[in-house]
Structures are given as structure tokens and as C-alpha cells.
A and B are shown apart, each in its own frame.
Chain A
Amino acid sequence: MKRIIIAPRPNWRQAVQDVGLVYNKLPNGGDYWNEGAYYCFSAREVDKLEAATTTLHKLCLDAAQHVIDNNRFTELGIPPAVIPVIKKAWEAEPPAIYGRFDLAYDGVNPPKLLEYNADTPTALLEASVVQWYWLKEVFPKADQFNSIHDKLVAKWRELDEYLVGAKLHFAHIDDLTLEDTMTVTYLRDTAREAGIERTLPILVKDIGWDESRKSFVDLDNEVIRSIFKLYPWEWLVNEEFGPKLLQTYEEVQWVEPIWKMLLSNKGLLPILWELNPGHPNLLPTYFDGSRSMQSFIKKPKLSREGANVEIIVDGKVATATDGDYGEEGFVYQEYFPLHGFDDHTPVVGSWMIDQEPAGIGIREASGLVTDNVSSFVPHMFE
């Protein structure tokens, strides 16, 4: 695994925009897409990442089963009213599309799980599409660990028969950066390629509740029967319509399913460590404090985009980010330093499409926390 400097394509700005990356501008004014460098892996390293992803997926499912069997929902900050609905959904094994493991990997040590975004992962289009087009133009003979697109299309094809109702709705927020809008638009493209013609976008705030039919409805007042939502479960269940959602959960095909609340929760990390102490793909993580760790990360169980994170290196605060998370409690995870990439901290986002590892996308921070000013760097392997 090497980070290699390279001249960007002269027309790169237009090229990435043409395939959907319209959210290239970072809040600090920099570019999100950075093809002035790329990561080069060996086939063996890619195999390691793939195998680690498969292993972590299995460990996570086992941990979720453990949470259910031992009633440890409170430690994950899951409200009591949601528990029976999660249990039922877990039993019913409803379709799930995707998730992204964030891994610390340096090409030497085994990949280590930092966290699992199992409910509302983004950075999808850049991994699945933008870096794929980059590869075809810049290194047409090389390979890339990225069959995300193929696997998404295959998954929708399989899912089609489980979908109910005349339409498949895709809900997202009206985000100014268009990052969520484009992620959902791209997912609709993959569904359409799989033969699902009846996709319809809807803003989360436009979802209606019809009291007479006891159903959620779209803007045409048609009952929503199947819906993909790029909106976290912990928000949905805690909002005004939350109780109605829980009452009618079984009548609607929600993608991702509600049991993803068990996985997309940093409270899962200490449970994973507790169940698999010393596992090579896990970092020591605890609920109750840093214990004897001298270098660790303190992060809220439900924070997003690197908010409210504190990194302690050798007993001193190395960096801390702002935000409004933390009421739900924190976890303390051993700090895993990444060396050998100059001042860059690459985080490997490893995608699961349903039950299969599908590829990676690399985001790098110039500091220690992968936040909303991290940039995306393409990769290839030989």
C-alpha cells in the first residue's frame, strides 16, 4: 500500500462533475476529490481487506444477536419502544442493501475496524462511480477493488420480488451540498438498471401521515409501501411520526431495515471487543473509560461526520472536534496511528453490499479525524 503523487487529469473537474460529483467543494473551500495522488495496493493487500470485511460482517451480526439475546439495548441508547420492533425485524430478515466499514489499514498490520456505518453510509458515488471512471481513463489496464455498482444492481434485481406497492420511494433530505441527493439519485439509477422502473424520490419532510388510512403517504397521497431512506433510524424513531412508524413498521418495506440500529452505533464497538478480545481486526474499546490506554479516541455512540471526537495521544489531548452529540454516552477506543503516508491519514471505507464485500473508497484527513473536510483519493491495484 503506497500513496503515489500523480498529475491530475487536465479536465478532472468537469470529468468528476459529469459523473455526479457535484459536491466537490469542502466547507473549508478545498476540493473534496483529490486525484493529485492515488493509493496503490498489491493484490495480496486487497485480499486482506476483503477477508477482513467478511470477518467483520460476521462478527457484527453475531454481536447484534448477542445484544438481542442479552437485552443490551440500553447500552446502545435504543429507546424501549423500539426494541420489540427491532426484534421482529431481525427475525423476519428483511432486505438490507449496504453498509460501510471504516478501517484503519497501513498495508502492514491487519485492517482494524474504526466504526461501521451500516444505516446511512455516503461516499458511495465517489467509491462506486467516480474512481471507477478515473481508473478507466488513467490506468485502463489496472484493477480496482470496486464492484460496488455491479453488486448493487444485482442486489436490487434480487430484491425486486420482495418489494410491495406500485412504487419504490427514495427519501432524502433537501441538502444544500447535494451529497445526499446525489447518493440517493445514484441508488435509484442502480435500481432502475436492475429493472425497477417505479422509483420516486421524496424529501423526508414531505412524507405524510394519513390518519384515515393509518399509513404514510407520498406527495400524491399514495400509500408508501416500499421505501429506501437516507436518514438515520435514531432520528426517525425520535421524531413526531416515530410512534406511527413503529406501529406500522411491518406494513412497510423499509430499506435499510430498523435492525441496522444495532450495527450503526458506536456502542457496538465495546461489545465486539468484549465478545472477541484480542481479535486482529478489532481495537480495544470500552464503555466505562480509557482504562489503561494512554492513546485513545473518545467518541459519542451516535455522532456523525467526526463530531464531538477527542483524540488523546500519550495522555495529552491531541485534537478535539465540536458538535452537539454525546448525550447518549461515549465509547473509548484505542488510538491506532497510521504512518508512512506523509501527513495523511487514510481511512479505508470498505463496502458491504448485502452480505458481500464489494470494494473500497479511501478518504484521507490531513489531521487525525476523518471529518467533513476530508478528501477522497482514488485507488488501484496490480
Chain B
Amino acid sequence: MSLKKKSSSSVSLGLVTIVSAAATLISCGGEPRSQAVCIDKESKVVESKLCEEGAHSYHSGISPFFYWYLMTRGGSYPIGSRVSGGRSFVPGSPEAISSGHSTISGKSSGSVSRGGFGSSSSSHGTAGE
């Protein structure tokens, strides 16, 4: 019989919490995709590049001045407008949060083709088991 505990000593989550929050917002708002905008400390929408640069400083251990904000519903958020109703402030690039929620498309390049993987999953809801 073992004397040592067989359960994990601690379980910390980061991305899981963020994606959960986003998924909940999506299901409440009825929107199929979340949308990330970059905001400043006053919740005003700013240019996305400030968040991309901010992500860098975050990883260097400096508090970010700009945040990605996951919107609860679609719509347009021009620079300077104030966001409300969402709840996730996320340092880092939106692509890095969840591929399932990103709206990015591949950079064009003549020699790159896509779509050669993934066809088998179309008739199944999931690829895990």
C-alpha cells in the first residue's frame, strides 16, 4: 500500500480559463465566433499593433498597458470607442488564445497549399476518443 498521495499537488490553469470564459460568452451571446480587440487601460479600443508589442513586454515581465479584449457579440469597434459587456482581458496575441476562435487567414504565398489534412474529421464530431 502506498503512503504517498496519489493526487496532483496543485492544478493551475491559464489558457483553459480564458477559452472557457470565451466559450461561455459565445454561447450566451449566440455568436459563433468571438472577436478580440485591443484596448487600453481605460477600455478604449486602440490599434492592434499596440497589443502585439504589449505581448512582448508582458513576457519580459513588465505589466502590459494594452490588453486583448474578447467581445461578447459581433459588431464594429472603431478605434477610440469604449468596450463593455465582455470580461476577458488577455495579454498575448489573439491567435495564441485559441485557433478555434481566431479569424486569421494564411499569408499568401505561391508555393503553399492548405487543406490536405482534416478531411476525415468532417464525418465525425471529434477526433479524440
Question: Which residues of A come within 8 Å of B, CB atoms?
Answer: 17-22, 43-44, 46-47, 50, 117, 120-122, 125, 128-129, 132-133, 135, 143-150, 172-183, 185-186, 188-189, 192-193, 197, 199-213, 217, 219-221, 230-232, 235-236, 238-241, 244, 304-305, 324, 359, 372, 381
Distance (whole angstroms) from the CB of A217 to the closest CB of chain B: 6
A240 with B119, Cβ < 8 A, contacts A120-B129, A192-B14 known = yes
Distance (whole angstroms) from the CB of B91 to the closest CB of chain A: 12
Q: Which of B16, B95, B115 contacts A125 (CB 8 A)?
A: B16
Judge whether A230 and B127 touch: CB under 8 Å. yes
Distance (whole angstroms) from the CB of B127 to the closest CB of chain A: 5
| 0/1 interface trace, chain B 89-119, chain A, CB 8 Å (1 if under) | 0000001101110001111010111111111
Judge whether B121 and A173 touch: CB under 8 Å. yes
Q: How far is the CA of A284 from the CA of B100 in the complex (A)?
A: 42
| Chain B residues closer than 8 Å to A180, beta-carbon distance | 126-128
Distance (whole angstroms) from the CB of B52 to the closest CB of chain A: 13
Question: Which residues of B come within 8 Å of A, CB atoms?
Answer: 1-2, 5-17, 19-20, 23-24, 27, 59, 95-96, 98-100, 104-107, 109, 111-121, 123-129
Closest A-chain residue to B104, C-beta based? A219
Judge whether B120 and A206 touch: CB under 8 Å. no
Judge whether B95 and A200 touch: CB under 8 Å. yes
Majority SS of interface residues in chain B?
Answer: loop
A235 with B127, Cβ < 8 A, contacts A147-B7, A209-B116, A210-B111 known = yes
Q: Which of A18, A122, A145, A207 contacts B128 (CB 8 A)?
A: A122
Judge whether A121 and B129 touch: CB under 8 Å. yes
| Chain B residues closer than 8 Å to A179, beta-carbon distance | 126, 128
Q: How far is the CA of A83 from the CA of B98 in the complex (A)?
A: 34
Q: Which of B1, B100, B106 contacts A181 (CB 8 A)?
A: B100
By CB atoms of chain A within 10 A, which of B17, B24, B27, B118 has the most? B118
Closest B-chain residue to A220, C-beta based? B107
Judge whether A146 and B6 touch: CB under 8 Å. yes
Judge whether A221 and B107 touch: CB under 8 Å. yes
Closest B-chain residue to A16, C-beta based? B20
| Chain B residues closer than 8 Å to A145, beta-carbon distance | 6-7
Judge whether B19 and A177 touch: CB under 8 Å. no
Judge whether B120 and A235 touch: CB under 8 Å. yes
Judge whether A20 and B13 touch: CB under 8 Å. yes
| Chain A residues closer than 8 Å to B126, beta-carbon distance | 122, 173, 175, 177, 179-180, 305, 372
| Chain B residues closer than 8 Å to A197, beta-carbon distance | 59
Judge whether A186 and B13 touch: CB under 8 Å. yes
Closest A-chain residue to B22, C-beta based? A22
Query: Closest 6 CB pairs between A and B?
Result: A122-B128, A241-B116, A205-B118, A201-B99, A235-B120, A240-B116
A173 with B127, Cβ < 8 A, contacts A178-B23, A200-B96, A359-B6 known = yes
| Chain B residues closer than 8 Å to A17, beta-carbon distance | 20, 24
| Chain B residues closer than 8 Å to A203, beta-carbon distance | 99-100, 118
Told that A176-B125, A244-B116 touch, could you supply 13 new A-B pairs with CB distance under 8 A? Answer: A22-B24, A129-B16, A172-B99, A177-B125, A182-B20, A185-B98, A189-B16, A205-B118, A208-B114, A209-B112, A219-B107, A235-B121, A239-B117
| Chain A residues closer than 8 Å to B115, beta-carbon distance | 205, 240
Q: How far is the CA of A235 from the CA of B124 in the complex (A)?
A: 12
Distance (whole angstroms) from the CB of A97 to the closest CB of chain B: 13
Judge whether A208 and B124 touch: CB under 8 Å. no
Q: Which of B9, B10, B105, B113 contacts A219 (CB 8 A)?
A: B105
Closest A-chain residue to B21, C-beta based? A18
Judge whether A241 and B127 touch: CB under 8 Å. no
Judge whether B8 and A148 touch: CB under 8 Å. yes
Q: How far is the CA of A359 from the CA of B9 in the complex (A)?
A: 13
- List 17 interface pairs A-B (beta carbons < 8 Å), by A numbering: A20-B17, A122-B128, A125-B16, A133-B11, A150-B8, A173-B127, A174-B99, A178-B100, A181-B100, A185-B98, A189-B14, A197-B59, A206-B106, A207-B118, A211-B112, A238-B120, A372-B126
